[in-house]
Amino acid sequence: MNEIKKDIAPEIAKETCSPSIQPLGQKLKDCLLAVKTDDLYKNLHIVTESCIEKHTKVKESDFFQLHMGRLGEIKYFLPVPDAFKNDDLVPCYWLTIGVGGDTQVEKEMKAAYPKCKIFGVEPSPDQYLDFEKYGTIIPLAIGIKPGNLSMRLRKGNSYKNVNVPITPMFQLLDDNVGSRLIHFATLDIEGFEYPIIDALKYGKPIESTGVRFCQIDIELHAENHQLQHMGDDFDFANYWRSFLANSAYLPLKSVKFLSHRKVTLVNVEDFVCRRLFQFDKYF
């Protein structure tokens, strides 16, 4: 209970522990796992939206939209109800993983949620832009375990493979954010999102250290990025189904963006997230 009280207002914490609360979204999960298509990655946004329409109550108008400063990209999130939005007792943490020289989303987020603490993980100093106007830069590369890794980083207006030291997710959050519960997150790291997502599965390195996200906007990069980070035998369909079957996360929005696919994942098992964002009403 102590952890829950730190994460959400005391007056609603007691309701988050109710044993009567059951996992959400089983029909949606079953639909997503049963999808048959020749190319799941290519058709991900189509089949995902079809299952969402059939098995949830979520509507386009339920989301608030944040706009990137380039290429017309939109990030979709479900809002915190007004009753808690400006309540000092209810913490709010935003984490951008991969700033990439664009801070329009953080600008809009700060305007919409002025009390939300915004953090940006970005190992390339020339990509910080004016992030400090809206939040705190964490000048590190995030990963699964300590070590060094070749990552595709944005340098100026192009991308280069750079060998960088890696800081584990839990350590980065402990040292810089002070919470392993993140309410809003965006993940756009040029293919390295695939091992990060895999580590959110039950018992994997990120999940097992108590790191939780209420909502994550993820850019799933195209095939060449998949092979670079996951190997030549990577099969997206098997990977994605395994993630959905073995994690607390389900997509409530999916769109095509350039040659990539985007999803907004919500944590349907964490009681704090469910109570704060009232996820139950969307199912």
Span 107-145, pLDDT tens digits = 999 999 999 999 999 988 889 999 999 999 999 999 898
Query: How do residues 216-238 score in pLDDT, each as one tens digit?
Result: 999 998 887 776 777 788 899 99
Which residues 6+ apart lie within 8 Å of 160 measured at CB?
Answer: 152, 153
Q: Is the pLDDT of residue 58 over 60?
A: yes
Mean pLDDT of the chain: 89
Please determine, for residue 183, whether its predicted confidence score (pLDDT) is greater than 80: yes
In the chain the domains, ranked by start, together with CATH numbers, are: 2-9+22-140+180-282 (3.40.50)
Q: What is the pLDDT of residue 21?
A: 54
With cut-offs at 50, 70 and 90, classify the pLDDT of residue 22.
Answer: low
**pLDDT higher than threshold 50 for residue 202:** yes
Cβ atoms within 10 Å of 111's Cβ, excluding its own: 10
- How confident is the model at residue 13, as a pLDDT? 41
* Contact between residue 81 and residue 9 where contact means Cβ atoms under 8 Å apart: no
DSSP letter (8 states) at residue 98? -
**Mean per-residue pLDDT for 237-250?**
97
Give percent of the chain with pLDDT exceeding 70. Answer: 89
Report whether pLDDT(89) > 70.
Answer: yes
Work out the widest C-alpha separation in the chain, in whole angstroms: 52
Q: Is the pLDDT of residue 258 over 80?
A: yes
pTM for the complete prediction? 0.88
Place of tokens 């209810």: 90
| Residue 156: per-residue pLDDT | 65
Confidence class for position 152, pLDDT limits 50, 70, 90: low
pLDDT of residue 18: 45
Read off the pLDDT of each residue in 158-163 and give the average, rounded to a whole number.
Answer: 76
Given a contact cutoff of 8 angstroms between Cβ atoms, the answer to whether 161 and 151 are in contact is yes
So what's the pLDDT on residue 15?
40
Relative to beta strand 158-168, strand 181-187 is unpaired
Q: 260 near 222, Cβ under 8 Å?
A: yes
- 6-20 pLDDT, tens per residue? 454 433 443 444 444
pLDDT band at 277 (very low <50, low <70, confident <90, very high): very high
Q: Give the 3-state secondary structure of residue 69.
A: coil
Range with the poorest average pLDDT among 58-72, 132-146, 180-194, 222-236: 222-236
